[in-house]
Amino acid sequence: MKAALAQLAPVLLDRDATAKKAVDAIRDAASQAASLVAFGETFLPAYPVWLSRTDGARFDTDDQKELHALYLDQAVSIERGQLDPIIGAARENNIWVVIGIAERPCDRAGHTIYASAVTVSPTAGVVSVHRKLMPTYEERLAWGVGDAHGLVAHDLESGDHHFRLGSLNCWENWMPLPRAALQAQGVTLHVATWPGDVVNTHDITRYIARESRAYVLSASSVIRASDIPPSVPHRDRIVTDESATLHNGGSAAANPDGTWLLEPQADTEGIFVVDLDPAFVRRERQNFDPSGHYSRPELLSLSVDRRRHTTARFRDD
């Protein structure tokens, strides 16, 4: 099976323009016979790069309110159909999509953003929305804390090949228990979404593959000064050097034995296509299967609450 990593630059804080780039990338990946294409963390409508560049932790300030209001406006409400271009492109091109979005969900009253990895089936549409369990460091100034509702695996069939697909957002890939939750469901293809930096993907991509004996795709974005439109508020503070690269990519793929399938790609946009062989997974699990013959569930087991957390539950009968 072929899978693609779409390492692209979002049009910062422009949902429609970024969605158009994603649709074009889906078509490109499908034209290269890929059965899956993966995008970076909150690719749509971009990672909140301003937080670390505009003193984002200052409390109750007009500039941070202005930027956050724009982020909310451009975030993605799946319920309102704002992911429909991606869903339609997946269906029209018969390709699975894992895409990071800044999600603005109606089930949490509509004014909090979550970093969510959305899995889209070409036949069933959105099959899972995994909200990041714990935003990292300054991300907590922009995103809410997610839940485990989206910690699910999906059966991906491609010709005679079968994979179990699961995904995690950025630094939660370092958390042993979410990884274990996916491994317990038999994941053989792990997608890790990242905002875009080689330093993030260089070590952990191979580590997860070696630990899980699964293929790992690390999908990242690129953000350069030129990708930030002049209309973005306080751009002069976000960009102090017009030649600067804020996120340099790092998309990569590893085999189930931890060797590189695609070494981290830096400072470039592109659709990177790799070949996956399920027999490779079976070979590597001969001597280590973390949730099968090398587990001791009677001694060590994991409990996962996959209910979608919500503020209120109403009964009107």
Task: Tell me whether residue 187 is in a domain.
Answer: yes
Task: Tell me whether residue 173 is in a domain.
Answer: yes
21, 103, 132, 211: which one is catalytic? 132
pLDDT at 161: 87
pLDDT tens digits for range 170-184? 999 999 999 999 999
pLDDT tens digits for range 7-18? 999 999 999 999
Task: Tell me whether residue 21 is in a domain.
Answer: yes
41, 139, 211, 284: which one is catalytic? 41
122 band by pLDDT with thresholds 50, 70 and 90: very high
* 41 annotated active-site: yes
Task: Tell me whether residue 312 is in a domain.
Answer: no
CATH number of the domain bearing residue 89: 3.60.110.10
pLDDT tens digits for range 194-203? 999 999 999 9
Does residue 159 have a pLDDT over 90?
A: no
Task: Tell me whether residue 317 is in a domain.
Answer: no
Task: Tell me whether residue 306 is in a domain.
Answer: no
Q: Locate the DSSP E strands across the chain.
A: 2-7, 34-38, 96-103, 114-121, 125-131, 154-158, 161-169, 189-193, 215-219, 222-224, 245-254, 260-266, 270-275
* 132 annotated active-site: yes
Q: Which residues constitute the domain of residue 96? A: 2-284
21, 139, 170, 172: which one is catalytic? 170
Does residue 298 have a pLDDT over 90?
A: yes
Note the pTM of the prediction, 2 decimals.
Answer: 0.96
Number of structural domains found in the chain:
1
Task: Tell me whether residue 300 is in a domain.
Answer: no
